[in-house]
Each structure stands twice: as structure tokens, then as C-alpha cells.
Amino acid sequence: MTFTPTVSDDCLVLNTACSSPSGTTFPIGTTTDTCTVVDQANLPSSCSFTVTTTVGDKCPQANGYWKNNANLWAVNALNLGSVSYTKTQLIGVLNSSNGGDASVTLGKALISALLNQANGSNPVPICGVMADANAALDGCTVPCGIGAKTTRGQAMINLANTLDIYNNRKLTPKCTP
């Protein structure tokens, strides 16, 4: 969630800090965020607000949908592992040939799963798989040159297969189209 606290004071405001700053991904449920400001007279003031995050129920979409409908993406950038990708780079991954590189296979499935979640699909069926997929891609920029027949490559393919099952609506049978 992104937000900008509005602050006014008779003195110059020196510092504004929130317990969960703008850009924070909030967990499912209700979270209280507290913002504190300190003015030039070194007087603090705080206020709190709640953020309620619910699980969406929109049906996930497969790789081809996201590849062909980039104008419907809810985000312009994503992280795969620890690497940040722009929308243009993500489209490049979705359009690339796997060429025996397991990281590309996993990257495509993870991009679609992340886009599905940003679009309001229920992330609960694959939360652990998402964490494992991000860990598997951590530190490499797709394509990473991971052979599909290597032990690491097979682990990536297995994660991609589970994400593809989710992306193809098999883990969210009661979703809303």
C-alpha cells in the first residue's frame, strides 16, 4: 500500500516516520499503522490508522493471458527473488523461449502468479510455493542458465509446475471470473 501522511504544524516539521512506511506489503487481516512527526520545537505528535487486507477471489490467469494483456497489469514492476524487473523486462521473460533454462520456466510461472495476486486472486493456496520460488531465483537475473535436468533445475521445474496449476485455476475452484 502506498500513502502520503498529511502533516501541518505551526513550526517546521523535521521528521515524519510510520511504523509501516508507504510501500509496505501488509499481511492478510487488520494492521494498525502509527505515524509520528517531530517539529522544529522537538515536539512529537502521532496518529494511527488501520489497514484491512482481504483475500481476493478473482480467478487466476495463465501465462498467455498476462503476456497478451500487459495493459491489464495492476503493477509496473515485480521482484523475482531479490532482483527487480520492469514491466518491459517481465514481458521479455514471458515472451522468451525456455531453451532448457529452468529459471525461465520458473520465472514465467512466478510472474503470472504475482500478477494474479496483484489482480485480486487468492494467494493462500501457494504462499509457501511463492516463497520457495523466490528463494530459488534469489540473486540471479532470469535467464540464469540453470539446466532443466540439474538438481536445482528440477526443483525449479517442480515449483513452476505447482504455480502453473494455480495459474490455471485448479487451486481456486470457487473463484470469480
Q: Is the pLDDT of residue 28 over 90?
A: no
- Which residue has 500478477 as its cell numbers? 115
- Structural domain boundaries of the chain? 13-53, 63-167
C-alpha cell at 28: 492478510
Mind listing the pLDDT tens digit for each residue in 52-62? Answer: 876 678 999 99
Q: How many other C-beta atoms lie within 10 A of the C-beta of residue 8?
A: 6
Q: What is the pTM of this model?
A: 0.72
Q: Is the pLDDT of residue 20 over 90?
A: no
Residues 133, 94: Cα–Cα separation, whole Å: 16
C-alpha cell at 93: 521473460
For residue 40, give the H/E element and its range. Answer: none
Mind listing the pLDDT tens digit for each residue in 106-164? Answer: 999 999 999 999 998 988 899 899 999 999 999 999 999 999 999 999 999 999 999 99
